[in-house]
Structure 1
Amino acid sequence: MLILHGDADIVIDPTVSKFLYEQATSQDKTLKLYPGSYHCILEGDTDENIFTAINDIVAWLDAHTTPK
């Protein structure tokens, strides 16, 4: 499970994602909070922040889809 959230989000408080992460029973879970980012972390933010989030998603997918 991959959870991404901007820590400056005023639509949904980041503590909701923290709670989801803590309550999830999966042993394979990752929570990424993006400092200064708002509700839509892939749109309307700086290019640097958007690319950081995209790179985090790709890295997580690579780690979870690489043949063993």
Structure 2
Amino acid sequence: MSFDPRPLRAAAAARGDNTVTAIAARLGAPYPTVRRWTSGRGEPKGATLAAIQRIYGVTPASLYPTPDTAA
């Protein structure tokens, strides 16, 4: 199970957050951290996953697809 940043980027863009800066501001997370997430070099954990789901409607299951759910 590995992190897939595409659902986060797509959901953010749908809300008008087309930059890492905008995503970071909406989530209240540091820019370098969000940059790692959106580039796939890092992954959100814990409370941040809950914030992503609450703000963007992206579930942890879509961010961490299993071979059964990967499209």
User: Structure 2-normalised TM-score?
Assistant: 0.31
Bigger CA radius of gyration: 1
User: Structure 1-normalised TM-score?
Assistant: 0.32
Q: Which has the higher contact order (CA 8 A, sep 6+)?
A: 2
Bigger fraction of residues in helix: 2
